[in-house]
A and B are shown apart, each in its own frame.
Chain A
Amino acid sequence: MEKIKNNKIVKAIGFNRIVLIGVIILLYVLFSVLTPVLHAGTTFVSYERIMSALNYAYFIGFLALGVTFVIATGGIDFSIGPVMFASALISGYCLTKYNVPLPVCLLISIGVGLLFGVLNGYFVAYRFLPSFITSMASMQIAKGIGSVFTKTQSVTWPASAAENSWYRYLIKWNNIPTGLILLCIVAAICAVVLHKTRAGRYMLCIGSNKEAVRLSGVNTKRWEMLAYMICGLLAGIAAIFYVGAYTTVQPGLGDTFNNEAIAACVMGGTSMAGGLASILGSIIGAVIVALMQEGILAMGFTISYQYVLTGLIVLAAVTADIMSRKRKN
């Protein structure tokens, strides 16, 4: 066991990540076997199923990437789901009701996300509010603003082949999962930022020992705020991938996605105590979350089972994290 753990390649990817990839394969096999049994006349093994699971993995993946930065600093952001919805609603409303050009709408979506990131970051970093409370509050604000802006109507983005529907190519083009490629590119950028730049180094150190970093002469507030801004920005991007997959957005929803994105992070080895984060882990976690929801639906269960499972996964992953920390001390 120790030998495997000390292998160079295993170390580079992380033992935990390799186990998770095993979990993905296991889940896939499990669902493939169980689906025809539980839900007669259906199958799990198909290209459509995979594409459908990926659709879910994209936006959860972007949300998870963003919140990884926040968790790395030792904070939390519970507003990402509703912020994503607010982005999709406001930009979609601009597109469909005010005929704002599509590229501008995409920028509006990202801008709304970024704005919420600034709001969260300011109150956490410069006003010393607990991130838990701050993001709870901005979650309510995001839900409310989305509803107010659209006058409590749902917004439907242009469907395939309609005018202004090229944004859908971002997730799928000629049956090629372009979304996966884009997610991987953004993930790679995130990994570089987190592990190869000053910003990432400071964020991780702040998560481990903020006061020591401050006493080293680092402007901790600035870097802490930046983490929330990245998180908001990625929630705005996630919105584009959400509508790219599902077109319709309803106001007043979105909070279930927070938990799934955070679950993806903690599964992937990002510590809720801060200081330790894995971008690759968050992506793998997002894929597991997406696969599970696809499998649960395929087997004929309702989505409520997914909520129960996500909750259990968070409990298990955080417990494992805390236990491994205790062992180390």
Chain B
Amino acid sequence: MGEVILTMEGIDKSFPGVKALNQVFFEVRKGEVHALMGENGAGKSTLMKVLTGIYTRDAGTITYEGKEVTYHNPREAQAAGIVIVHQELNMMGHLTVAQNIFIGREFRKGPFIDDAKMNEEARKLFQRLNIDIDPKMTMSDLTVGMQQMCEIAKAISHEAKVIIFDEPSAALTEAEIDRLFDIIRELKKQDMGIVYISHRMDEIKRITDRVSVMRDGAYVGTLITEECTKDDIINMMVGRVIYEEPKTESQVAKDAPVVLKVEHLNAGRMVKDVSFELRKGEILGFAGLMGAGRTETLRAVFGADKKDSGDIFLNGKKIEIKTPEDAVKAGIGYLSEDRKRYGVVLQKTITENSTLACLDQYVKGIFIDGRKERKVTKKYVDLLKTKTPGIDQLVMNLSGGNQQKVVVAKWLVNNCDILIFDEPTRGIDVGAKQEIYELMNQLVKEGKSIIMISSEMAEILRMSDRIVVMCEGKKTGEMDIAGVTQEKIMHLATMRE
């Protein structure tokens, strides 16, 4: 490890209602691979966005190559030699490899693009990285792994001195990951500083020199990778004080009937052979890290996405759910993590949204029964304490928490027995959060059953009677709330095969 090339000190960043970063410290040395770890929402991505000028910091200093710097956009950072290799590749599939690498700064011969020169320069870059890719190939013909290598080549073509890898291995096969690591070692040799963001413990142990851990927007500490164990890292990641009392034992009787049973569900790349049961009156928590396939699993159950195989049983009887229509008829409601896109119709009123799932129950002859519709909407606005001047208010004028209540109302109006809450409190302020929790507890008391996907550890521990943990599309564990610890969940959530 060489001298320090980049230091971030005392970085603060707030968003309305959230302190995303709080006095964060982070440094990178030349020729080291420095892992940046933390749970979902710990602030890793925000920190990198502050570094590359996507966000403006509220406080703190960034020192790069001995000088204090501030970048206003990723372009400036790139010009200075700080480059991000994104998780999602930003490539144009129909262009060649070389054209992609030099997009926006093409070599020219007079008024024409000099493709020969670009191919030559790209070849030199690949040689430097010891990669065998033909620059003339069309991007979409390459595997994801090879595309990523092109992205890396593009990064070093900017004379990069610090390269940030944001979950680079998520879409790669084992062999491709080995290749990636060879390249990273090569970059290391060339004295670049490398930031490696990943959830995969085994990779952290294999490739990194140091590990910095963040938690809830704050810097926790830095360890030398060789000297620490996986448990040390997990402890730093989850060692937060949980203010809300976690549940200590399941509120559901052992012999409560199974209302929903899913067997060997497969759907696309993200859901592999998932089976689970939901009991009456239970809150079943789905824990896992980002991209674990939890949303995909429940969307497939709900019929929002296509299933490849698997059976669903409702109250012991096998049912076919091909579309959301089938699911809603069966009494299942789905509250999406992305309310604005999948939950509410923003430009319509609370009333119109509330009866959307069961409008056929609110018609008299061929007309919508306006009075009945308003009555039921009013009832649920009062019941859920939705804050609004009136039920004719457009949903777009409500706050996030109140929009969420409108979605809840929609499913309650339809009298759903099974509710899937996907990240029910994301983007909701603390007060409204509390109300959503109380509401969920109230619902299960009334005999409804809830599946709750949550990336917030505290939420999982506080609400669930039982917990299913997923990792990379597979179910890696299931346990009763009694005896669960954050560490156990985190182990299962990072358990790759």
Contacts and interface: CB of A to CB of B under 8 A. Distances in A.
A42 interface: no
Interface residues of A, number: 22
B344 A202 contact: no
Contacts, number: 74
Given A201-B368, A209-B344, A215 B334 contact: yes
B324 A215 contact: yes
Contacts of A219: 323, 325
Interface string A202-221: 10110011011111111100
Contacts of A213: 345, 356
A5 interface: no
A198 B359 contact: yes
Contacts of A204: 348
Interface centre among A196, A209, A213, A328 (most CB of B within 10 A): A209
Given A212-B341, A214-B324, A202 B359 contact: yes
Contact of A198 (B342, B346, B363): B363
B329 interface: yes
Contacts of A214: 304, 323-324
Interface in A217-275: 217-219, 275
Contacts of A217: 324-325, 327-329, 357-358, 414
Contact of A197 (B304, B352, B358, B367): B367
A276 interface: yes
B226 interface: no
Given A196-B367, A197-B368, A209 B359 contact: no
B466 interface: no
Main secondary structure of the interface of B (DSSP, over half): helix
Contacts of A205: 345, 348, 352, 356
A198 B368 contact: yes
A190 to B, nearest CB: 14
Interface residues of B, number: 32
A192 B366 CA distance: 10
A202 B359 CA distance: 9
B221 to A, nearest CB: 42
Interface in B323-379: 323-325, 327-329, 334, 336, 341-348, 352, 356-360, 363, 366-368, 370
A302 to B, nearest CB: 41
A216 B328 contact: yes
B342 A208 contact: no
B372 to A, nearest CB: 13
A14 to B, nearest CB: 15
Given A205-B352, A211-B341, A216-B410, A275 B347 contact: yes
Interface in B296-328: 302, 304, 323-325, 327-328
Contact of A216 (B324, B363, B366, B368): B324
B339 to A, nearest CB: 9
Given A215-B336, A217-B325, A218-B325, A197 B344 contact: no
Given A198-B368, A275-B348, A215 B342 contact: yes
A231 B352 CA distance: 24
Contacts of A216: 324, 328, 356-357, 410
A259 B360 CA distance: 36
Interface string A132-166: 00000000000000000000000000000000000
Interface of A: 192, 196-198, 201-202, 204-205, 208-209, 211-219, 275-276, 328
Given A205-B352, A218-B325, 4 more contacts: A196-B367, A214-B323, A215-B336, A275-B345
23 contacts: A196-B370, A197-B366, A197-B368, A201-B352, A204-B348, A208-B346, A209-B345, A211-B341, A212-B341, A212-B343, A212-B356, A214-B304, A214-B323, A215-B304, A215-B334, A216-B357, A216-B410, A217-B328, A217-B414, A218-B359, A275-B345, A275-B347, A276-B347
